[in-house]
Structure 1
Amino acid sequence: MMESGRDDSTRTTRRTVLAAVGGVAGAGVVGGCLGRAGGSVSVLSAGSLAHTFEDHVGPAFEDETGIAVHGEYYGANAVMRMVEDRTKHPDVIVSADATLLRDRLYGEFTDWDIEFATNSVGLAYARESEFGRRLEDGEPWYELARETDARDLAIGDPNLDPLGYRAVQAFELAEREYDLDGFREEMMELVYEEPEEPQLLTGVESGSRAAAVAYRNMAVDHDIPFFEFPETYSFADPERADHYATVEYTTDEGDYTAEGRPVVYNATVNDEADEPNAGLRLVQFLGDNPERLVDAGLTVGEQIPRASGEVPGAIDV
């Protein structure tokens, strides 16, 4: 991890701000009773939540609080790198892999997070394509994938976002499940790796690509048919965490190795946030409004929201 570049007094000051927000404004944040505060909050988020924030969470949050949400969206691994090297300076940080955020940011930029939603991995596909027609006729997706032309099937860049490395891990788990010798490597030679996660489904929408390995909510966002992988490699079942963990992916730069794990979204407020109060209110809003997340195609189970680390007093989950 990078050296901080700031002294302990700066960090203490930020901690003091968060503590003061928890002590003085906690009840108002929790109950939504602080009125329409105005201003804005900056969010640096996993790209799979672009539509969730822009179309569902952001407008509702601003309507309730008067605080505008200004979001930027990238692969979650890229998000962590931008925070670490201070290329970006967000108030709120959101990851599509809860463990990734903790591994990369705890101790330097935050000491806590709130898990607020889960998701599943599968194929968003073009219904009118040969791939889509045959998939809907019941042919195995992995056989169809092997027959696709090069770059006709897209995945996220596994070096930049968890969806990308989960696609690679899903290929490996499918290889084992169906005894498909060399399937993972075969797929990696065929697929197109999209570096901009929010653009992953653009080719599917236009008909220039047959399908993309995507999260369910992304297909919902774009009104594209979705074929959910079986739970053995959809990364949707927390009870299968040990099974998912039997595969891993190491980035090309070798700076991070991710084990397979269930898809869990989490959020935190940056210790260096310019608007920590607004950031805390937004994180609380994510935990308090599961129906808006479900409308966006996410899943919110009984164990969500769930807190980890030294959660400020302003947050109540």
Structure 2
Amino acid sequence: MYAENRHGHMTPGGRHGGDSVSRRTALATAGSLVGIGVAGCLGTATNSVRVLSAGSLARTFEDQIGPAFEDETGIAVHGEYYGTNAVMRMVEDRTKHPDVVVSADSTLLRDRLYGAFTDWDVEFATNSLGIGYNAETTFGQRLEAGEPWYELALETDDGDLSIGDPDLDPLGYRAVQAFELAEAEHGLEGFRDELLERVYEEPEEPQMMAGVESGSRAAAVVYHNMAVDHGLPFLEFPDAYNFANPELADHYATVEFTTDEEGYTAEGRPILYNATVNDEADDPDAGHQLVQFLIDNPDLLVDAGLTVGERLPRPAGELPEAIDV
């Protein structure tokens, strides 16, 4: 057990969340704080573009994409960052009014926004799932000594390991799906359910690694770029459940997760980030320029810890003339 530290490759780089009402309240309160604290509200400043994005890209936009885009175009990026499920809901109910929408699950965006808010998107990057951890904790030390993560995870105290809230973001439901695939891969009967009783579900996706960095949690199931953002080590899951290998799409699809909030069922699928411009955008021209910038600057994305393979960028739907892929 790791009581002393309660409060792939390795690169530097349980339902304890309450009922659905409290999770929604936490999202509304904490999420808005993230949006304001990181980059301000989705305001109406001139010569700017408003972005509503998956929380895992918060630092990528704030530290890499935003400054570089503004340097090149003179257009400032004003972003808010939440779990992608929450992003889709905010667009659908018009709680937020972004120019650009960015999803950590390309299928989710198409399922939720096509026909009402857009009819196109561009996939621009991928990622991999694994464990970002604090090397100074007992968990981290034993992990670096070569002990299997899944054995260590079952020995952690409740809440030492965190995942995203699966009702709010793909990072959360991918963690649940990974536990199920790991159970089959390693012959661990009951592993998924037992681990879900132990983990803490973090409603603020951009804050996932902050608790690990401070030492209040030993580790978190996150994307590779999120560990890179914080300069923390990352253990990539095997291909069988890291959702990074497109050739294993059929294998990933053997698991699924249905959210409590909307009853949306997501099959396991490779991680793909995509972006589109909202049909209701106040400044669609600036939105198109930002999406084109994502397409034209793969090196910037790679530097942020994302992956841009030979199959990307990849368009879907009826692209506007302003987008050239």
| Bin of the TM-score, shorter chain as denominator length | 0.7 to 0.9
Count of matched residue pairs: 280
Cα distance between partner residues in 2 of 1:81 and 1:42: 17
Over the matched positions of the two proteins, sequence identity in percent amounts to 77
Counterpart of 1:141 (choices 146, 149, 164) is: 149
1:154 is aligned to 2:156: no
Q: Match of 1:94?
A: 102
Q: Which amino acid aligns with 2:84?
A: A
- Secondary structure class of the residue paired with 1:307: strand
Cα distance between partner residues in 2 of 1:280 and 1:234: 31
RMSD between aligned residues: 0.7
Cα distance between partner residues in 2 of 1:239 and 1:314: 32
Cα distance between partner residues in 1 of 2:197 and 2:118: 38
Give the gaps of 5 or more residues in structure 1. Answer: 1-37
Counterpart of 1:110 (choices 118, 138, 161) is: 118
1:227 is aligned to 2:235: yes
Counterpart of 2:176 (choices 168, 176, 180) is: 168
- Secondary structure class of the residue paired with 1:233: helix
Structure-to-structure mapping, 1:267-278, within 5 angstroms: 267-278=275-286
1:182 is aligned to 2:190: yes
Counterpart of 2:298 (choices 269, 290, 295) is: 290
Q: Match of 1:3?
A: none
- Secondary structure class of the residue paired with 1:99: helix
Q: Which amino acid aligns with 1:97?
A: D
Q: Match of 1:57?
A: 65
Greater Cα radius of gyration, structure 1 or 2: 1
- Shift of residue 194 of structure 1? 0.2
Structure-to-structure mapping, 1:18-97, within 5 angstroms: 39-97=47-105
- Secondary structure class of the residue paired with 1:286: helix
Q: Match of 1:10?
A: none
- Shift of residue 254 of structure 1? 4.7
Cα distance between partner residues in 2 of 1:313 and 1:99: 23
- Secondary structure class of the residue paired with 2:53: strand
Cα distance between partner residues in 2 of 1:254 and 1:65: 38
- Shift of residue 252 of structure 1? 1.3
1:199 is aligned to 2:207: yes
Q: Match of 1:261?
A: 269
1:245 is aligned to 2:256: no
- Shift of residue 255 of structure 1? 2.3
Cα distance between partner residues in 1 of 2:268 and 2:241: 9
1:306 is aligned to 2:314: yes
Q: Which amino acid aligns with 1:150?
A: D
Cα distance between partner residues in 1 of 2:126 and 2:284: 25
- Shift of residue 208 of structure 1? 1.0
Cα distance between partner residues in 1 of 2:164 and 2:262: 18
Q: Match of 2:136?
A: 128
TM-score where L is the length of structure 2: 0.86
- Secondary structure class of the residue paired with 2:163: strand
Cα distance between partner residues in 1 of 2:219 and 2:50: 32
After TM superposition, the runs of 4+ consecutive aligned structure 1 residues lying more than 2 A away are: none
Q: Which amino acid aligns with 1:262?
A: P
**What whole-Å deviation, never above 9, does each CA across 1:213-259 have from its counterpart, x for those lacking one?**
00000000000100000000000001100000000000113520000
Q: Match of 2:19?
A: none
Q: Which amino acid aligns with 1:119?
A: N
**What whole-Å deviation, never above 9, does each CA across 1:83-136 have from its counterpart, x for those lacking one?**
000000000000000000000000000000000000000000010111101101
TM-score where L is the length of structure 1: 0.88
- Secondary structure class of the residue paired with 1:60: helix
